[in-house]
Chains A and B, each alone.
Chain A
Amino acid sequence: GAGVSQSPSNKVTEKGKDVELRCDPISGHTALYWYRQRLGQGLEFLIYFQGNSAPDKSGLPSDRFSAERTGESVSTLTIQRTQQEDSAVYLCASSPHLTGTNYGYTFGSGTRLTVV
């Protein structure tokens, strides 16, 4: 597609429920990233996918968080047993190469998750 597409744009869920967030990267972009933006905070790195290599999961805050990506296509971020501190905007980005040094990343509009 023309840009990075994320769905849903907004999600309200009850504490303890599982949620799944989706990201469609730009076609041909081999690298995909998930970031989290909590209110009044900068963006926190969560996870990185590059082609068929093992993902870098070092930013995932707990084992309730997981993410998958098949090849160079769609990625899903799953949060199990949601807690109120999970409330944030979850941003997905993609880039055509391993590093964003020369290209920067293209970000989606994000999914605003509210846990009540």
Chain B
Amino acid sequence: GNSVTQMEGPVTLSEEAFLTINCTYTATGYPSLFWYVQYPGEGLQLLLKATKADDKGSNKGFEATYRKETTSFHLEKGSVQVSDSAVYFCALLSGAGSYQLTFGKGTKLSVIP
């Protein structure tokens, strides 16, 4: 079956530090990969996505590259801000016509001034 493994948090960084949140996956076929973000008190929001190998998703300074050879989709940001404090979820969608997202457990990021 499909599964997503994320690095466990919480992660605490100082403002302007470099961020990496690791995500690896197991899936049949060629999944689409997503990062969702959940800010305090809000619903999950799609942060970025990649639908095929070597695609790079990017948004709000965050990037993730779909690496088929390592089955990974690590999230990176060069300089985090306090406003990036949130829980980040890696997810995949696998198979034609698929609609069930498989999520990782989430990584809580706290950025301190």
Contact = CB atoms under 8 A, between A and B. Distances in A.
Task: Tell me whether A and B are bound partners.
Answer: yes
Contacts of A1: none
Interface string A75-116: 000000000000000010101001111101111111000000
Interface residues on A, range: 20 to 34
Contacts of B46: 104-106
Contacts of A91: 43-44
A4 interface: yes
Dominant secondary structure at the A interface: loop
Interface residues on B, range: 20 to 34
B101 interface: yes
A-B pairs, 7 with minimum CB distance = A104-B46, A107-B43, A107-B44, A42-B103, A43-B103, A109-B43, A42-B105
23 contacts: A31-B99, A33-B99, A35-B103, A42-B4, A42-B89, A42-B102, A42-B105, A43-B89, A45-B102, A48-B99, A48-B100, A56-B99, A98-B97, A99-B97, A99-B99, A100-B99, A101-B32, A105-B101, A107-B36, A107-B45, A108-B43, A109-B43, A110-B43
